[in-house]
Amino acid sequence: MARKSHIVLLVIILHFIALVRRNVSFDVAGSEEFLFPKEALPTSSGYLTVNENSGARMFYVFYEAISPATEDLSKVPLILWLQGGPGCSSMIGNFYELGPWRVNEDQHLYKNDGAWNRLYGLLFVDNPVGTGFSIAPNEEDIPSDEEKLASDLFTALQAFFIKHKSYQSRPFYVMGESYAGKYVPALSYRILQELDKRNSGVNSMGMKSIPAVRLDGLAIGNGLTHPIAQVNSYAPVAYYIGLIDNNQRLSLEAKAEDAIAKINQKDWYNASIARGELLNSLSQASGLATLLDIRRKTDYYTYENGSSFLEPFLNKHAVKKAIGADISVTWVDCSSLVDNRMQNDIMKSTKWMVEALLHRVPVLLYQGQFDLQDGVASTEAWLQELEWNGAKEFLASKRNLWLVNETLAGYVRSYETLAHVVVVDSGHLVPADQSIISQTMIESWISGLNLVKNVLLGPDVVSKQALK
């Protein structure tokens, strides 16, 4: 009997050792580093070259749809996610917001029931080069404006579709948040330009071997898109919710006017500095932990001491190896070098691109209710200045309640190709604050299943032109 017990115990021990060897990654010294679940591995990941001469490369992670609506993957939509900044890594979106697995304060991964790849393929790209795990061998490789940034992104997408030829026919959506309120329209505009060239026969001989990148819609969450209008919203909103008094409001409004004056003078660098001073003054006057969510006691993805819990996780040797990142790259959430390179771009507008895109593809704008910086009032400010043939009807349309399971989830307004959603109980990072609600929003918009009957018109409802 004792011998049998020893045999059983030995079998259990050997089985445990096998499991450990199979699932635990080790550092070069051989010590246990981190348990990365096999089911959390991406479908595909690695680098996309954007400059053969310099070696500039963009890092990407792709997850296939978990439960697509059809077995024919050629019809399953793809979502590209771009983080903001400028210079913030899309791994924030991946491991903290809308990816299939989230990192918690304990440095472990947990399944995200609100992942945006439930029905759709989900592609994260660290953009521009120099951001996150992306590589910029020279400072000059980092873009300083939206035109160069969009060009690099477009080159990266072509490389992605060359690598994954079977994905080329799939519906494609460009999405992002915060400073991606400029990235998303810039890339989308570039995609349509390239499609127009291809359809008109311009350079058609040279394009035959290069895959077309289609565009079926775009979505911007809590975006900075038209700074000259948005910068004026900060002080009034803070005043009316009781964060500052009237004297502070007047002082902050004077700083906003200074930023606006510099925009009108095309003094882009000093306009950006003026906006930064305005936001710093507002932060100090209000005493908030972050302007991105007035409810929070600490900033997003941070411990109580203010340090990030994403940085130690993403700098683990095992994590870099698992997601295909260059082991030698030290990951930071937001690159100061990229931010400095983009300073002259920050206060420029991409509203005109959104206006052009509205004539061609569906656009979704959404904001978290408690974002003081790039929230509802900030977006409403530039929507009032929208120059589009449906603008008057859109602004006159009814704002409807959006209920999920008979509980208020937000507010929706929609007309033709433009939909606007306010998500309750959320801040700047809507998918982090309301994962299931944000998942429902995106799935409803793409599929055309209206959040409110006859209100939210998704891409499957709106008639699209020149998309392929």
Write the CATH number for 460.
Answer: 3.40.50.1820
Strand ranges, E, within 181-247: 217-221
Residues 333 and 406 grouped into a single domain: yes
- Residue 202: predicted pLDDT: 61
Sequence-ordered list of residues with C-beta below 8 angstroms from that of 188, at least 6 positions apart, any chain: 174, 215, 218, 353, 357, 361
- Residue 169: predicted pLDDT: 92
Sequence-ordered list of residues with C-beta below 8 angstroms from that of 37, at least 6 positions apart, any chain: 23, 101, 109
- Residue 35: predicted pLDDT: 67
- Residue 212: predicted pLDDT: 82
Sequence-ordered list of residues with C-beta below 8 angstroms from that of 344, at least 6 positions apart, any chain: 144, 145, 268, 269, 272
Domain count, the chain: 2
- Residue 452: predicted pLDDT: 56
Burial 406-421 (b: 16+ CB within 10 A, else e): eeebbbbbbbbbbbbb
Residue 332 maps to a domain: yes
Residue 277 maps to a domain: no
Residue 110 maps to a domain: yes
Residue 266 maps to a domain: no
Residues 58 and 25 grouped into a single domain: no
Residues 131 and 203 grouped into a single domain: yes
Strand ranges, E, within 20-92: 24-26, 32-35, 44-51, 56-63, 78-82
Residues 156 and 299 grouped into a single domain: yes
Domain assignment of residue 462, given as a range: 44-226+295-468
- Residue 455: predicted pLDDT: 47
Residue 238 maps to a domain: no
Given 126, 293, 339, 371, the catalytic residue: 371
Q: Return d(Cα 67, Cα 83) in angstroms, integer.
A: 25
- Residue 34: predicted pLDDT: 56
Residue 274 maps to a domain: no
- Residue 190: predicted pLDDT: 97
Residues 17 and 60 grouped into a single domain: no
Residue stretches of the chain with pLDDT short of 70: 1-35, 202-209, 449-468
374 φ, ψ to 5°? -120, 40
240 φ, ψ to 5°? -75, -15
- Residue 5: predicted pLDDT: 54
Residues 203 and 171 grouped into a single domain: yes
Residues 110 and 23 grouped into a single domain: no
Residues 18 and 103 grouped into a single domain: no
Residues 22 and 165 grouped into a single domain: no
Decide if 371 is catalytic: yes
Residues 7 and 86 grouped into a single domain: no
Residue 349 maps to a domain: yes
Residue 261 maps to a domain: no
- Residue 306: predicted pLDDT: 85
Residues 7 and 73 grouped into a single domain: no
Claim: this prediction has a pTM higher than 0.85: yes
Decide if 178 is catalytic: yes
SS3 labels along 304-333: CCCCECHHHHHCCHHHHHHHCCCCCCCCCC
Given 89, 90, 134, 178, the catalytic residue: 178
| Residue matched to tokens 């992104």 | 153
Note the pLDDT tens digit of each residue in 255-310.
999 999 999 999 999 999 999 999 999 999 999 999 999 999 999 998 988 889 99
Residues 26 and 104 grouped into a single domain: no
